[in-house]
Amino acid sequence: MSDAESDAEAAILELLAARGHGKTICPSEVARALAADEDFRPQMEPVRQAYASG
């Protein structure tokens, strides 16, 4: 797993914990969180890979 995928996995877990039991998140939410104030689209592939491997 790449560093970008590890970061994405950590962000996924953090967002899910914040959202609460039984709730979902969108992959683009994770990408936006990772990108901060930059374009989130380049973050989508690592997020997809983290979802697929998780």
Model pLDDT, residue 53: 87
Model pLDDT, residue 44: 97
Contact present, 12 and 30 (Cβ < 8 Å): yes
**Dihedral of CA 4/10/51/25: which sign?**
negative
Model pLDDT, residue 27: 96
- C-alpha–C-alpha distance, residues 6 and 37, integer Å: 20
Kindly give the confidence (pLDDT) of every residue in the chain, 54 residues in length, as a single tens digit, with 9 standing for 90 and above.
889 999 999 999 999 999 999 999 999 999 999 999 999 999 999 999 999 987
Model pLDDT, residue 1: 81
